[in-house]
C-alpha cells in the first residue's frame, strides 16, 4: 500500500476565517483530521463527512493523548495510505511541537507539509484592540511560553535579558503562572505600573479581556476566576485597547448563533452575523430537491404546459422561483409563453430572485407572507381568473383555499420537496450541553420541526428541554407559532419577515442581554 501524506496545518487562533487558503484546502482534501481544542467549531465543519475525526486536545490538567502518541498516530494513519491533516491552533511552529511530529514522519519516510497559521500571539491581542507594536510605544516584541512550572521557566527563560529586551512581551499559556511571571518581570526591571492584558479565547464568541498592571494583575485574575486559554500581553501597547477595541463594540459580539437554513441558503445569514461580530454556526436541517414521484412530475408538466391560460403566477419563496425556472428549462417551455400572466411575490428576496431572471413582480405586500400577498392584490383578483402556485410540498394550504373562496381557480404544483437534513454533529451536541449556543434562528416552520427531529436522531430524548434557555429568533409569526407549538420559548419574532429583519431582531436581543 502506498504511503499517505500529512499536512501539519495552523488553524489560526479560533476565528475560522483566519485559517490560510492553503490550510483550508488541505483540511478539505483529508481522509483523517487530528485536531486539538483550540480549533474553532466552525472550522471543524469544513472537515469532509467521509473523513475520520480524532480529537487529541490538551488541557493544563489533562491530556487526551501524550505528544509521543500523537506523533505515532500521524505515522500510523499515513502508513494506512491516508491523507492526514494535523490541525493545530494558531501557528504550528510557535510552541506547537510541530518539529517533533515532523521528525518522526521524516524518519518513517512519510511525505509532509508544514502550513503556517496566524499565531495567537499577534491575532488575539489585535482582536482585543492591542497592536503588539506601535511607533511611539514599542518597536519590537517577544513571544514567550508561560506554560512551564516556575523552575522550568527559570531554566528556559533568562529573565534578566527577556524582561527589557523588547517593548512588548507576549506570553502564551501562562494564566496559571501570572503571579510568578509578574514577580520576575518586576524583579528584573519592569515598573510595577506596567500595563498587562489577558485575552481569553481570543477571536471566538467567548472572547474576554482582563486588564491591570504587573502589580495587581494576579489579584484581578483570582477575583475574576479568569481561566485559560489566554494570551498575556505586557507593555505600554495595552493602553491602546481603550481607543482601538473594535470587535467587542459590534452589536452581535459574544453571541454564537445557530443557523438552521438549508446549506445553499445559509451563507447570506451567516455572513451578516459574522459582519456584526457574532459567530454563526451552520447546522442545515433542511434540504430542497426535485420531486421524484411520477404523479407529482406529471402534474407539474401538465400545469406548465398550459402557460398561456394563467392570469397570475404567485410565488411565495426564493426556492419557489428557483425551482419554477428549473422546471421551465427541463420541460423546454419558453418564458414568453407566460405573456398573459402577471407575476407576484411575497417579500423582497422573492421579488429579487424573479428580477434576476428578467421578471418584474407586482408591487410587494406590506406583510411578507401569504396573507399580505392576498391583501395587496385583493382589488385585482377577479372570480374566474386562473392562478398558478409553484411551491414546496410543505407549503400551507391557506393561500389556495382563500383564492378558491374568492372564485379563482388555484393550480398548485410542488416544484420542490423539503427533506430532513440530519447530519450527525458531535460538536453541536457538546456546545448545546455546555451552553455555548446563545441563539437559534428559524426561517421556516420546517427548520423548527427538522431541528428537533435531527436532535432526536442524535440521541437527544427531549430536544425542547435541551434548547430551553437559548434565545429563539423567528423570521415571522407562522414560524414562531410552530416553534411555540413544539414547546420552544420564542424570544423574538422579526418585525419584517426578511433575513435583514431577522438580523435586526438578533441585534435587539443582544442589546437587551447587555443591559
pLDDT (0 to 100) of residue 379: 79
pLDDT (0 to 100) of residue 467: 96
CB 274 within 8 Å of CB 209: no
pLDDT (0 to 100) of residue 262: 77
User: Looking at residue 174, what DSSP letter applies?
Assistant: -
pLDDT (0 to 100) of residue 65: 82
Residues in the chain: 515
296 vs 315: CA distance, rounded Å: 18
pLDDT (0 to 100) of residue 271: 93
- C-alpha grid cell for residue 456? 432526536
Average pLDDT over residues 417-421: 86
Q: Out of 1.25.40.10, 3.40.50.10090, 3.40.50.300, 3.30.70.20, which CATH number does the structure's domain 256-285+422-514 have?
A: 3.40.50.10090
CA distances from 43 to 12, 280, 398, 468 (A): 10, 11, 41, 26
List every span in the chain annotated with CATH 3.40.50.10090: 256-285+422-514, 289-420
Instruction: Categorise residue 26: left if φ over 0, alpha if ψ from -120 to 50, beta otherwise.
Output: alpha
pLDDT (0 to 100) of residue 149: 60
pLDDT category at 56 given cuts 50, 70, 90 is confident
Average pLDDT over residues 286-308: 94
Residues classed as catalytic:
36, 58, 173
343 vs 286: CA distance, rounded Å: 27
Average pLDDT over residues 6-17: 94
23 Cβ contact list (under 8 Å, min separation 6): 7, 9, 10, 11, 12, 115, 117
For the stretch 162-193, pLDDT in tens is: 999 999 999 998 899 999 999 999 999 999 99
202 vs 371: CA distance, rounded Å: 46
Average pLDDT over residues 231-246: 97
Is the pLDDT reported for residue 154 higher than 70?
no
pTM of the full structure: 0.83
The set of long-range contacts for 139-142, using a CB threshold of 8 Å and a minimum separation of 24, is 139/167, 140/165, 140/166, 140/167, 140/168, 141/166, 141/167, 141/168, 141/169, 141/170, 141/235, 142/166, 142/168, 142/169, 142/170
24 vs 9: CA distance, rounded Å: 9
List every span in the chain annotated with CATH 3.40.1010.10: 5-118
**pLDDT > 70: what percent of the chain?**
94
445 vs 158: CA distance, rounded Å: 62
> pLDDT higher for 43 or 155?
43
19 Cβ contact list (under 8 Å, min separation 6): 9, 10, 11, 12, 27, 43, 117, 118
Q: Out of 3.40.640.10, 3.40.50.11890, 3.40.50.410, 3.40.50.10090, which CATH number does the structure's domain 289-420 have?
A: 3.40.50.10090
> pLDDT higher for 76 or 374?
76
Q: Out of 3.90.550.10, 3.40.1010.10, 3.30.390.10, 3.10.450.50, which CATH number does the structure's domain 5-118 have?
A: 3.40.1010.10
- C-alpha grid cell for residue 313? 403566477
For the stretch 111-140, pLDDT in tens is: 999 999 999 999 999 999 999 999 999 999
pLDDT category at 364 given cuts 50, 70, 90 is low
Q: What is the CATH number of domain 122-248?
A: 3.30.950.10
Average pLDDT over residues 315-338: 94
CB 166 within 8 Å of CB 141: yes
CA distances from 45 to 40, 232, 508 (A): 9, 29, 28
Average pLDDT over residues 252-264: 89
501 Cβ contact list (under 8 Å, min separation 6): 475, 494, 495
List the beta bridge partners of residue 288: 418
Amino acid at each position: 500500500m502506498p504511503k499517505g501524506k500529512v499536512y501539519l496545518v495552523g488553524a489560526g487562533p479560533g476565528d475560522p476565517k483566519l485559517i490560510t487558503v492553503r490550510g483550508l484546502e488541505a483540511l478539505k482534501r483529508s481522509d483523517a483530521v487530528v485536531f486539538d481544542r483550540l480549533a474553532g467549531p466552525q472550522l471543524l465543519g469544513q472537515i469532509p463527512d467521509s473523513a475520520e475525526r480524532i480529537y487529541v486536545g490538551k488541557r493544563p490538567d489533562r491530556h487526551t493523548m501524550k505528544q509521543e502518541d500523537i506523533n505515532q498516530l500521524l505515522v500510523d494513519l499515513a502508513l494506512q495510505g491516508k491523507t492526514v491533516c494535523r490541525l493545530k491552533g494558531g501557528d504550528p511552529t510557535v510552541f506547537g511541537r510541530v518539529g517533533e511530529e515532523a521528525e518522526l514522519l521524516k524518519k518513517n519516510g512519510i511525505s509532509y507539509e508544514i502550513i503556517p497559521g496566524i499565531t495567537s500571539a499577534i491575532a488575539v491581542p489585535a482582536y482585543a484592540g492591542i497592536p503588539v507594536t506601535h511607533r511611539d510605544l514599542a518597536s519590537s516584541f517577544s513571544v514567550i511560553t508561560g506554560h512551564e512550572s516556575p523552575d522550568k521557566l527559570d531554566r528556559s527563560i533568562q529573565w534578566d535579558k527577556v524582561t527589557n529586551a523588547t517593548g512588548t512581551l507576549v506570553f502564551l499559556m501562562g494564566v496559571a503562572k501570572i503571579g510568578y511571571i509578574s514577580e520576575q518581570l518586576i524583579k528584573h526591571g519592569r515598573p510595577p505600573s506596567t500595563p498587562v492584558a489577558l485575552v481569553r479565547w481570543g477571536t471566538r464568541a467567548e472572547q474576554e479581556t482582563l486588564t491591570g498592571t504587573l502589580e495587581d494583575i494576579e489579584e484581578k485574575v483570582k477575583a475574576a476566576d479568569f481561566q485559560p486559554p489566554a494570551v498575556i500581553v505586557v507593555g505600554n501597547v495595552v493602553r491602546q485597547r481603550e481607543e482601538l477595541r473594535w470587535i467587542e463594540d459590534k452589536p452581535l459580539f459574544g453571541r454564537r448563533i445557530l443557523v438552521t437554513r438549508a446549506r445553499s441558503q445559509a451563507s447570506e445569514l451567516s455572513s451578516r452575523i459574522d459582519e456584526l461580530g457574532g459567530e454563526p454556526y451552520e447546522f442545515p436541517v433542511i434540504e430542497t430537491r426535485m420531486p421524484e414521484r411520477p404523479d407529482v412530475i406529471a402534474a407539474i408538466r401538465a400545469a406548465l404546459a398550459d402557460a398561456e391560460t394563467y392570469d397570475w403566477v404567485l410565488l411565495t419563496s426564493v426556492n419557489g422561483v428557483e425551482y419554477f425556472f428549473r422546471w421551465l428549462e427541463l420541460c423546454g417551455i419558453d418564458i414568453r409563453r407566460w405573456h398573459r400572466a402577471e407575476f407576484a411575490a411575497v417579500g423582497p428576496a422573492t421579488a429579487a430572485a424573479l428580477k434576476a431572471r428578467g421578471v418584474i413582480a407586482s408591487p410587494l405586500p406590506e406583510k411578507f407572507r401569504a396573507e399580505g400577498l392576498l391583501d395587496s392584490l385583493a382589488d385585482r383578483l377577479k372570480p374566474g381568473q386562473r392562478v398558478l402556485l409553484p411551491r414546496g410540498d410543505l407549503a400551507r394550504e391557506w393561500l389556495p383555499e382563500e383564492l378558491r373562496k374568492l372564485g379563482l381557480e388555484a393550480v398548485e404544483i410542488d416544484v420542490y420537496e423539503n427533506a430532513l437534513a440530519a447530519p450527525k454533529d458531535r460538536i453541536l451536541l457538546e456546545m448545546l450541553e455546555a451552553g455555548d449556543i446563545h441563539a437559534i434562528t428559524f426561517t421556516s416552520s420546517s427548520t423548527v420541526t427538522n431541528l428537533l427531529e435531527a436532535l432526536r436522531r442524535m440521541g437527544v430524548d427531549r430536544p425542547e428541554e435541551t434548547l430551553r434557555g437559548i434565545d429563539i429568533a423567528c423570521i415571522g409569526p407562522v414560524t414562531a407559532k410552530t416553534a411555540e407549538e413544539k414547546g420552544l420559548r420564542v424570544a423574538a419574532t422579526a418585525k419584517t419577515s426578511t433575513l435583514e429583519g431577522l438580523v435586526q431582531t438578533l441585534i435587539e436581543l443582544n442589546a437587551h442581554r447587555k443591559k
